Structure 1
Amino acid sequence: MVNSPVLVESLPTPAQEEGRGREREKGSDFSELSRRMADEGLLRRRPLYYTVRFGVVALALAGGVAAFVALGDSWGQLFVAVAMAVVFGQLALAAHDLAHRQVFTRRRPSETSGLLTANLLLGMSYGWWMNKHTRHHANPNHEEKDPDVSPDILVWSRGQARRATGLPRFVGKHQAALFFPLLTLEGLNLSFNSFKALGGRAVKRPALEATLLVVHFVLYFGGLFTVLSPGKALAFIAVHQGLFGIYLGSVFAPNHKGMPMIEDGTRLDFLRRQVLTSRNVRGGLLVDAFMGGLNHQIEHHLFPSMPTPALGRAQTITEAYCAELGVPYHQTGLLASHREALRHMHSVGRELREGR
């Protein structure tokens, strides 16, 4: 599990060899942390926890559907839309944990449950998202390798701002102010990219995933426009999808946005690459539930398959261990984390506002 040094074809000089010796020594830091986690039993599966958690989400989903049917063609359905946005957010967090094999050790049950949760219930491609998220974990905040910071619409570094053209250049000027409004489209964006990815290499079972996606949207739109008048159905979609997107953004944006960006040529061992680019969010049980444990982002990146209820104890161990090593470890409150992210986005956008 130790990050290996990058190999080069030429023989190293003595100074280079000494530097690599220090790098190998740093690489072993993660092995020691991993041993401490194993000694605490923090990598063991927690089947009871996930049975209860997923059971509660399933009941909430069933309750939302029942309330929708019972209310009929009523503007009261907008309250159902708000509740279902939260349920969909929790389903997305469940799909995330399934993809990381936090729930099951074996691939088949993880994949089957992930496909049903992501494709059928959420309308998002499990294969596409898993491919994208795996690349993010391998190189968080890397300007070239992390798809989560690619300058599709927003720019995340001054270098990206200087190179931006078209829509990213236009939006990037005021991206901090536009961030939350843009998040209202995130749920629809995930679905759009899911269909778009069906013809690519990221989706290994395109026919199965396409079928599940189509079934989802037939049930979703069919149910809405059967029970509700067109105007109420469109209002439901706007509220539901808009709040769902904001929920997702509120969970994932605090984790890395505004933390150091990594450029090509920067060499960091595994532990430092994950810790330095991640931010933890304090807040206790309420924040844990809201963010599905991803508020312990540093520990999640170090141990992606660690079950959610173990992350709190892992946080204490990791913070103390980083203090031993002298590795910066950043943790702040939920609102402060958003302030930091938005401040960073505003600062990066200055490059465009000033026409540099």
Structure 2
Amino acid sequence: MALFDELRERLAAIRDAAATNAELTLADLLIKESYEAEEAFEPIDSVEYAKMAVDYERKALSHFSVRVEPSPQQVALAPLVEQYIDEKSKEWKQATTATSHFRQVWNMTGMLSVSDINKDNVRAFKKVIRERYNGQTPQGHFLKAQGFVSWLMSSTDVIATNPFKEVGGFKNLKRVNEKGVVNAEIYADILANVRPMFVPMVSFLYWTGCNIKEAIGIQQEHWFEEKGIKAVVITDVKNEYRKRAVPLHREVLHLWGTNLMWPTKSNSVNSLTVSLNRELEPWGVTSHSFRHCMTNRLRALEIPDALRYHIVGHSPKGTSDRVYGSGWPLSKVHEVIERLEP
């Protein structure tokens, strides 16, 4: 953690310049103690923890008459990030989600101290977000990071220029797919970075092809097991062809019988959908993108149209599908689902 690395450097400098043996010994002891303190504070992911860490540093240095101040280049960014969030979250809509997004974006820069804020690292950051995201998302991420450095310039004296502005953002970005694309890499990245309360629903949508309204409508009595196959009945739909049994893939068996929801103000379908879609914004996808993804994955396996429509609850396209396409055995559907890979 950069803050504690900096503290140890300053304590080492104080030790080397100590006027008495007592100060030398104390500096040594505090250096050793700082490793335990670092473990206790890690990670610094809240304003409270940032303030406590800064307070620890201040108290550790207060014992000495010798002062060794860090150069601006050595200043750790973690406390400043938390200070920025503390100030800006009062202005941000959906502050909790916006805060989570900003931390995620800044972590992708890999910049831990002021010395890391340079053109080379900005260019590396641009490359990462351009390869990982589509549409206008890379530019949005770039502007978030640039805004933080602009705040550093106006609110502190640790940096005089903004390499983000000097390098410049993206121009003429176009979305590859207006509905958003979810592939194995993006799915893994989403799971690794969304808040934990959204993980069950994201996993369920990815591996079942259900839409979010169907998933929200699941009640405890809808979960069932037949001949060792764990599944769920989708019933909260207006169209008959969408009423179906959905077997769970081996990757999400742990979700069987669980509550997929997370708390919102009203817990309405609209409120839940909006909150999930906002969480997914950094990837340029929505909850419905997982449904399109499932359709594409089934098509890649050359699953017959009628069975594919049944699995995702799409309207049968032809007369024969409408007459004969329903009533697929659960074992057959499960066999297809198990063929899916991430």
Same fold (TM over 0.5): no
Structure whose residues are more often helix by fraction: 1
TM-score by length of 1: 0.21
Decide which structure has the larger Cα Rg and report it.
Answer: 2
Q: Whose RCO is larger (CA < 8 A, sep 6+)?
A: 1
